[in-house]
Structure 1
Amino acid sequence: MALAKAYVIIAKEHNNLHLAWELSSKIRSCQFLLSKAAMREEPISLDEAEPIIESLAALIFKAQDAHYDIATTMITLKNFIQSLEDRANAATVQSTVFGQLVAESLPKNLQCIDIKLTADWLQSKSIQELAKDRRNSPRLVDNNLYHSLVFHVVTNGVKYGAMQAWFLSNDFKGATLEVKNIEDFSWLNASYSPVVKQLQDTDSRRFYFEVETCLEAFHRYYKYLNFSNPLISTKVDPQACGWAFGMNVFDLIAWRKANVTTRYHYWQEKNTDKSLWKLGTLPPGLLAFYGLTEPLDRRWHVLGLGYDLNIDNRLIETAAVIHFNGNMKPWLKLSIGRYRPLWEQYVNQTHRYLQDCTTS
């Protein structure tokens, strides 16, 4: 059919509209036959295919007899293939962008919950007083209580009230939760951290970076860093394994001893011209922690539930942590059905916010 389509273009260029129409008609017949076979899930029979192939072949010979030489045909085919590739690439980019937009967009029921939580925070003095009391919890300041389970949730000013209302109005089985507004971190500014300076760049803010493990997809350092630069090639092994940078266990004492923060800032400063890596949060992390990481048992962290359809159930069942990284989050309609119950089992459907915001 590709050759026939090329001759359609050539025939039109030579104003042979009748031949172009005949070829287009046969191409549509071929496409209809393929669609019909796909719908019935059965292969095309010889009796069905033979008359269409013969008539299409006759038209192609007719086009060749019309002095459409092979050189012209090859050039047209090449342009046609290039056009298809461009369209395919554009469709891939478009699909990625649309997928990202869907992943970042909240469903109506979650938007409803967000609004109700924010309203409760603004209207309820008791919740605000409770937040003040929690800020002075010994579990947050007493280093002798390091065996306590404490979660520090950092959010922005827009979501701060909703986060506070949610975590203060629910019980988390004895765990202590602290919600912090990143805009209150006066020390976190462009003069202290090159990362903040980079994030203020509109070009940098447009990029989203997602990491897979070396074990799963062989994500090596050379995939992320510019090894033609001697600053990289003389200090780093290109075959070193990357890791899932969004999920880590840190030894903070070892962190301070190795001065990891300074190392991180060093690499950010060296990359102000983007000569070491283009964009993303992973490359500077890989450099800052180079030589300082230890691999965990794969069962500790099973990731890919937001994009990989074929994760072994046995891996999921034995995992300490499952990670819905990817665009197909379990709270979205485009989520992967077989993984959704893993998340839904922890959602309290009787909660008043969920009840009030349930949509059909």
Structure 2
Amino acid sequence: MPAQNKLSHELKQNIQELERVLSGSITDADLPPSIEKKSERMEAAIAKAKSVTADCNNVDKKLRQIFDLTEDEANFHMKQSAFLYGLAVQTMPKNHHCLSMRLTVEYFRDDSFDQELTEKYSDPTLQHYIIFSGNVIASSVVINSTVMHAMDSMNQVFHVLTDGQNYYAMKHWFLRNAFRDAVVQVLNIDHLIQDYSDKTTLPHLNSPLEFRISFYNSGNYQQCMIEQYLSIFSHSHYLLSEIFKNLEKVVVLDDDVVVRQDLSTLGNLNMGQKVMGAVQICSVRLGQLKRYLGENSFNKKSCSWMSGLNVIDLVRWRELGISETYWKLVKNMSMEEESTVLASMLTFQDLIYALDSEWIVSGLGHDYGISIQSIKKAAVLHYNGNMKPWLELGIR
């Protein structure tokens, strides 16, 4: 209050003097003799302050200042919390990281490696599954769950594409662990990228991308904001036709899925002239993604599609030059997630064979509202979203 500046100054001075004295004292015996006089001056200042009549406008002004300061502090903590949450979901748990390091050391200590069944790796008559991952445990869960539910694991071949950092750990793990009669090949994509450097300048492995989109959904009575995670092929996926030149059809699995039924029928799926089989998300149509897709020509009513479980006809892929189309689209774009969504959606426009929705249920890593019935019916559970099952913040 402007009229009480002198009193305000007196109160502040007394408070500061008492703080200095009390901060250096632990017991009453530590207090200096002058404490009684300081306390008396403080009590007198408080009595004066109590006798002053406060104007309602001043009280209102002070309360607004406190509110604004509190709101600013709350916003700061919310931003800090969001940052730490984002950091947590992108970080490999310590025990997983330590496992990978230990496996790498064991790989170089062990000089008795098993003979790999290289002839099976390129046999087009077998069932081939592709996994992009740098997570040993997650990859193992995908393979183990697929094998355990297979009618015949003898014909199953898994190709795990990982980076140089995790290559030897993956190699050692899958050489030392049997998955019934299936065979597992581990490939270092860092070396493969060097072989195809004319197609891309990517320096490392790109796992499937998860991109959170938001758009307004207009209902009959109100307009509400909808958020959805789209799982999309990364740049590395567009090397498949060149890495596996002898294969004709493959099933691509993300490393955040758990398989609960036999997938062998996907190998005999007749997709006609389509290139890829995927579960379509018709709650998100391309027209609703316009701010991500830009001014490119596309069918606004087309459904978006998800990675997680994808059947790819590599013969048709090569005939249509899918990889070339994709790289042409991203050539003049920045290597960011939005450009990948744009290029992937436009590359596969009208080339998606719609799989039955019961093949896979997505959203287990972000959506609390998925029904138990949907989970029980699904052949594959997809934990797309931030809350991966190997993280402590996953949905219970």
Q: Same fold (TM over 0.5)?
A: yes
Q: Indicate the SS of the match to 1:153.
A: strand
Partner residue of 2:111? 125
Partner residue of 2:321? 259
Contact 1:118–1:162 (CA under 8 A) maintained in structure 2:
yes
Give the whole-Å Cα distance in 2 for the aligned partners of 1:154 and 1:99.
28
Partner residue of 2:244? none
Query: Post-superposition shift, 1:63?
Result: 5.6
Query: Post-superposition shift, 1:285?
Result: 0.8
Partner residue of 1:351? none
Give the whole-Å Cα distance in 2 for the aligned partners of 1:209 and 1:107.
22
Classify 1:229/1:168 alpha carbon distance in 2 versus 1 (closer, same or farther; 3 Å). closer
Classify 1:150/1:288 alpha carbon distance in 2 versus 1 (closer, same or farther; 3 Å). same
TM-score (norm 1): 0.59
Contact 1:212–1:219 (CA under 8 A) maintained in structure 2:
no
Contact 2:282–2:303 (CA under 8 A) maintained in structure 1:
no
Equivalent residue for 2:120, pick from 136, 139, 152: 139
Does the alignment pair 1:324 with 2:324? no
Identity of aligned pairs, percent? 30
Unaligned runs of 5+ residues in structure 1 are 1-10, 18-61, 338-360
Q: Which has the larger radius of gyration?
A: 2
Contact 2:308–2:382 (CA under 8 A) maintained in structure 1:
no
Partner residue of 1:218? 283
Partner residue of 1:292? 351
Unaligned runs of 5+ residues in structure 2 are 9-53, 129-154, 213-228, 232-278
Q: Indicate the SS of the match to 1:150.
A: strand
Give the whole-Å Cα distance in 2 for the aligned partners of 1:176 and 1:166.
13
Q: Deviations over 1:107-151 (max 9, x none)?
A: 333233222211111111113xx2xx31x5211122234573211
Q: Indicate the SS of the match to 1:290.
A: coil
Partner residue of 1:97? 83
Cα RMSD, aligned residues only:
4.1
Q: Deviations over 1:42-66 (max 9, x none)?
A: xxxxxxxxxxxxxxxxxxxx86566
Classify 1:299/1:149 alpha carbon distance in 2 versus 1 (closer, same or farther; 3 Å). same
Equivalent residue for 2:173, pick from 166, 190, 200: 166
Contact 2:375–2:381 (CA under 8 A) maintained in structure 1:
yes
Give the whole-Å Cα distance in 2 for the aligned partners of 1:320 and 1:269.
37
Give the whole-Å Cα distance in 2 for the aligned partners of 1:113 and 1:229.
43
How many residues matched?
A: 260
Partner residue of 1:209? 211
Query: Post-superposition shift, 1:220?
Result: 3.0
Partner residue of 1:269? 331
TM-score (norm 2): 0.54
Residue type of the partner of 1:236? F
Partner residue of 1:184? 191
Which structure shows the bigger proportion of residues in helix conformation? Answer: 1
> Higher relative contact order at CA 8 Å, sep ≥6: structure 1 or structure 2?
2
